[in-house]
Amino acid sequence: MRYLVISDIHGNLEAFKAVLKASKKDRFDKVIFLGDVVGYGADPSKVCKLLKEISPICVMGNHDASVLNPKLLSWFNPYARFALEWTAEHLTENCKNYMREFPEKTKLDDMLIVHSNPYKPQSWEYILSRLDALFYFQKTSEKVILFGHTHIPVVYEYNPESENAASVSPVGREIQLDIENMRYMLNPGSVGQPRDNDPRAAYGILDTDKWTFTVKRVDYDIEKAAQKIIEAGLPQFLAHRLYTGE
Ligand code: ZN
């Protein structure tokens, strides 16, 4: 199977459309979405509707969960909280009902799919380093774990023999996974709000026949997405950061 693996769209319709258009040439069979449909961006309902149309395997993101349950808002910084309150007001009931069905994690053969981390998904703790990854490898047993949340594309490889982990960037190159001997955590980066200093939208292609993973980048109309954020009355910072990918 070939999977389009996407995460953290965050209400950015322009970025999402660009990813769907560009990834057509990658001829995937199915979409895996790692959470955070909404938050930050100005098009939560349109993004949600488009996501539903491509019927992906989904998990719940922290922004998604907070739009559905305002008690969780205290977790966020003031910018994110403001955007989430705005999103809760503007998101259609249809979308909310669709998102309520998202599980906190899901399994696909020997792959585990989560938003933040595979051990306590709803703690929303980040996996930001090789050492973080090592901790979570030792708390789990699946061969492959797909995660998002950090908005940074990465491959972590765990060697069960040496009990050590290494990291490598999958951006712009195909990483061959040694599925017989190693275990992996894969992050495709963010569609709608990249934070690795590359403002282009990111998406992953995972081939489970050849066991390869690659992350591709695609230009999109940042100007339009940023303008919509400002026109909606959302914090300007959320528009400006799209230009730098921070
Ligand atoms: Zn996110």
- pTM of this structure: 0.97
Spatial separation of the C-alpha atoms in residues 20 and 33, rounded to whole Å:
12
How much distance in Å is there from the Cα of 38 to the middle of ligand 1? Answer: 8
Residue 147 CA, ligand 1 centroid: distance in Å = 11
What's the 138 CA to ligand 1 centre distance in angstroms? 24
pLDDT band at 205 (very low <50, low <70, confident <90, very high): very high
Average pLDDT, the chain: 97
Per residue in 116-143, pLDDT (tens digit) is 999 999 899 999 999 999 999 999 999 9
Hey, is 33 helix, strand or coil? strand
Distance 125 CA to ligand 1 centre (A): 12
Q: Report residues near ion ligand 1: CB below 5 Å.
A: 8, 36
The 3-state DSSP class for residue 57 equals strand
| Count of C-beta atoms within a 10 Å radius of residue 146 | 29
Residue 66's contacts (CB-CB under 8 Å, 6 or more residues apart) are 39, 72, 73, 75, 76, 84
Residues spanned by the domain of 224: 2-243
pLDDT recorded at residue 222: 98
Task: Please report, as a single letter, which amino acid is at residue 92.
Answer: T
Please name the residue that has the structure tokens 């999103």: 87
Q: How much distance in Å is there from the Cα of 146 to the middle of ligand 1?
A: 14
78, with CB counted inside 10 A (0-12, 13-18, 19+), is exposed
Query: 91 CA to middle of ligand 1, Å?
Result: 17
pLDDT of 82 over the 90 cut: yes
Q: How many Å lie between the centroid of ligand 1 and the Cα of residue 150?
A: 7
**For residue 23, how far is its CA from the centre of ligand 1 (angstroms)?**
21
DSSP character string of 155-211? EEEEETTTTEEEEE--BTSPEEP-TTT-EEEEE---SS---SS--SEEEEEEETTTT
Tell me how far the alpha carbon of residue 161 lies from the centroid of ligand 1, in angstroms. 33
DSSP-assigned letter for residue 137: H
Instruction: Please tell me the distance between residue 192's alpha carbon and the centre of ligand 1 in angstroms.
Output: 9
Q: What's the CA gap between 168 and 151, in Å, rounded?
A: 15
Residue owning tokens 């982990």: 165
Calculate how far, in angstroms, residue 180's C-alpha sits from the geometric centre of ligand 1.
31
Candidate from 16-30, 70-84, 146-160, 223-237 with smallest mean pLDDT: 70-84
Ligand 1 center to 149 CA (angstroms): 5
Residues 6+ apart with CB under 8 A from 18: 201, 218, 219, 220, 221
At 72, phi and psi to the nearest 5? -85, -5
At 224 the pLDDT is 98
75 pLDDT tier (thresholds 50, 70, 90): confident
Whole-number percent of the chain with pLDDT over 70: 100
- Give residue-wise pLDDT tens across range 224-239: 999 999 999 999 999 9
DSSP-derived pairing of the beta strands 175-176 and 212-218: antiparallel
Residue spans of alpha helices (H) in the chain: 13-22, 44-53, 62-68, 78-90, 93-100, 130-138, 222-231, 236-244
Query: Per-residue pLDDT tens for 160-187?
Result: 999 999 999 999 999 999 999 999 999 9
CATH of residue 150's domain is 3.60.21.10
Distance between Cα 7 and ligand 1 center (Å): 8
* Number of independent structural domains in the chain: 1
* Residue 166, CA distances (Å) to 18, 82, 158, 160, 171 in order: 31, 37, 7, 12, 16
63 Cα–ligand 1 center, Å: 7
**Ligand 1 center from residue 183 Cα (angstroms):** 24
- Report percent pLDDT > 90 for the chain: 97
CA of 181 to the centre of ligand 1 (A): 31
pLDDT at 74: 87
